[in-house]
Amino acid sequence: MDRNTFDRLFYQENIAQQPFELWMLLGIIEKMIPWVDTIIEIGVYLGGTLRVWREIVGPNGLVIAIDDGKRGFMEKLQEQYRDDDAVTLVVGDSMEPAVIDVMRNKLEHSKAGMLFIDGCHDYAHVKSDYNRYRGHVRPGGLIVFHGIKNGEIRRVWDEIIEGGQFAGVYELYDRHNCTGTGVIVTD
């Protein structure tokens, strides 16, 4: 994605990320795994990053976007993506077996190129999202955590990094108002 497209999307879609962190993440995605054709996003909020992911996967890709819908934005997004076969919106708690089943069925025994975790920010949810969804990311794929500067997310991030073996690990921070984005490149 070029910078003009990024800037247009970022400011039109009201993306709830730090622009520098997201821009750097896109650089990693494009350099390391240009073949990302499937993305699982946990935590959709206003749908800003969903729009970016949709742009990345292209016409034949798939974005599976999971959100509990409690903030009231999913209905608008369901209308917006109603006719887009490349986007599947799943409303429900990411820890619910039925939600995981929908995701598995959409993957059809394939694996995602990226998992983006930005849902509920408490320890139990973040840890659960990682444990329940990481197996659905292909080797060499990315597992991304938004908000690693947050205490609960930081705790999960540190535990995972300390106890895991990965092909690569990145921490992305904006100098100003950073939330931190953690990126794991899977083995």
What is the pLDDT tens value at each position of the chain, 187 positions in all? 899 999 988 888 878 888 999 999 999 998 877 778 999 999 999 999 999 999 999 989 999 999 999 988 999 999 999 999 999 999 999 999 999 999 999 999 999 999 999 999 999 999 999 999 999 999 999 999 999 998 999 999 999 999 989 999 999 998 877 799 999 999 9
The structural domains of the chain, with segments of one domain joined by +, span 3-185
The position carrying tokens 């650089």 is 27
CATH of domain 3-185: 3.40.50.150
Those residues with Cβ within 8 angstroms of residue 169's Cβ, 6 or more apart along the chain or in another chain: 161, 182, 183, 184, 185
Q: How far apart, in whole angstroms, are the C-alpha atoms of residue 32 and residue 140?
A: 8
If 0-12 CB within 10 Å is exposed, 13-18 middle and 19+ buried, where does residue 38 land?
buried
- β-bridge pairing 181-185 and 168-172: antiparallel
183/144 Cα distance (integer angstroms): 5
